Amino acid sequence: MTYLNKKISLPIINDLQMNITVEENPFDLPIEDFFKMAARINKKRAFLFVSKLLGKHLPIEPNKGLLTGFLLAARYEEIITGNVSSKRAELMTIYRNSSLHFIDEPFIGKEVSNPIIIGFAETATALGHSFYKAFQNAVFFHTTRENINELVPIISFEEEHSHATSHRCYVKDEILDNQREIILVDDELTTGKTAINIIRDLHKKYPRDKYSVVSILDWRSNDWQLEMKALEQELDITIQVVSLLKGNFELVGEHTDLVLQEEILGMMVEEPLIEYISLEDFAKERIVSTTSTSLAGIRNEFGYLKDTGRFGIHTDERTDDWIRQAANDLKKKRLGTTLCVGTGEFMYIPMKLASFMGENTYYQSTTRSPIYPNDEEHYGAMTGFRFTNPEDDDVINYLYNIKANQYDDIFLFFERKVSGERLNELLAKLKVIQMKKINIVYFSGR
């Protein structure tokens, strides 16, 4: 049921609950398909809509994450053209029947839009990338929190409510120095402030007439919608907002300070096999010669992958061939029910790999979001543990919703090789989850 214009009360934790009212649900998706609620360990924002479509905090079938980008693209096409998307019926059939094969071939032609698409790090990098794949002619890049030594970001901006605020854009000037529509892709609009910030920053240097903001959820209040309208008038631009679910919310109840309590999974029954796997032979033509220095001063000499879109990627450059070949190689190493884990903003390529690795393969990612775990079925983080990011000692990461004996093996994906000692803390946490094998996979470095 979609419950249009009816108040829905969703429990979070203790006496804390979220009341939501749905105003638009264009594809008539069940509310429970979108998210679970959780309490966030963040004084700026006490709650989190934990997406069941992104593959970030909750494991999903990888094709569902890829399909979500296409659903958003179909909705964008409908709003731009004023007609029902020719792809709508097919996408909804696949959405309702996960056994059907999803092929992410582009369907939105240049006559409809030839945009520049920007995904927000870290949560929406894969969503933005999958949305981009629906266009026959587009450019894609995602913001990053990486500090790349050889490059100067052409633009940067802040995200006020986030636990990690600095976004950088490392693309060539000519990607933005034109009049093409810019589409910003995020997983959720709560205030729209992040989108307002980046539109302001972009418009100062690369002014144009038209922007779109695309997200799965749009929770903006009337006041925040007026803020975006005011920006349109101030800059003499149009901003089109596209979402799969639009409404408003009210947080009700007393929120108390919460501290992450890691689940004690018990003693390790059997030492899992650990294998380190380099996919550089598959990816070597796709590696960009760059280095980085983390917040903690750790220098990484291995290059990034061009195919993430971090440096900008055009439709005539994209290819899944090497990803499919690499996935076939990884598939041979599977032992049974498999979890593929992306790391931080490195989400799309691991998700795409997982989609090629066969049945009973699930996908999720590590995250910077501190969430209070609570073992109740309605809750969005039933288990959780924290660890130092192997790529940056100054950043704490988290992994949620993994239970003992749930998977036979895990494939943990890093874009670039990480030294073994930096993985010790994470491996120690993974070992007590009691699985047969842990695979550490990287694309740059041997």
Query: Going by DSSP bridges, is the β-strand pair 139-142/155-157 parallel, antiparallel, or unpaired?
Result: unpaired
In this structure, what is the dihedral angle of CA atoms 173, 176, 178, 181, given to the nearest 10 degrees?
A: 170
Give CA torsion, residues 77, 81, 86, 87, to 10 deg.
Answer: 10
Bridge partners of residue 218, in order along the sequence: 189, 246
Parallel/antiparallel/unpaired status of strands 238-252 and 292-293: unpaired
Give dist(CA 215, CA 380) in Å, integer: 20
What residues does 215 pair with on adjacent strands?
186, 243
- DSSP letters along 242-310, please? EEEEEEEEEEES-------------S-SSPPEEEEEE-HHHHGGGEE---EE-TT--EE-SPEEGGG-T
Contact 29, 362 (CB under 8 A): no
The structure tokens listed for 135 are: 């266009």
In degrees, rounded to 5, the angle at the alpha carbon of residue 302 between the alpha carbons of residues 298 and 308 is 105
How many whole angstroms separate alpha carbon 330 and alpha carbon 279? 9
Q: How far is CA 297 from CA 152, 291, 366, 368, 392, in A?
A: 17, 12, 21, 19, 8
Q: The pTM is what?
A: 0.95
Q: Tens-of-pLDDT digits for all 446 residues of the chain?
A: 567 888 999 999 988 999 999 999 999 999 999 999 999 887 677 899 999 999 999 999 999 999 999 999 999 999 999 999 999 999 999 999 988 889 999 999 999 999 999 999 999 999 999 999 999 999 999 999 888 999 888 887 766 544 445 788 999 999 999 999 999 999 999 999 989 988 998 999 999 999 999 999 999 999 999 999 999 999 999 999 999 999 999 999 877 666 666 655 556 678 999 999 999 999 999 999 999 998 888 889 999 999 999 999 999 888 899 999 999 999 999 999 999 999 999 999 999 999 999 999 999 999 999 999 999 999 999 999 999 999 999 999 999 999 999 999 999 999 999 988 999 999 999 998 889 999 999 999 87
Alpha-carbon span 424 to 430, nearest angstrom: 10
**Domains defined along the chain, listed by start:** 7-252 (3.40.50.2020), 273-288+319-444 (3.40.50.2020)
Residue 446: other Cβ atoms inside 10 A: 9
Length of the chain: 446
Q: Which bin fits 13, alpha (ψ -120 to 50), beta or left (φ > 0)?
A: beta
Among 10, 42, 59, 117, residue whose Cα is nearest residue 340: 59
Place of tokens 């500090």: 147
CB distance 112 to 81 below 8 Å = yes
**Strand 210-218 and strand 182-189: pairing?**
parallel
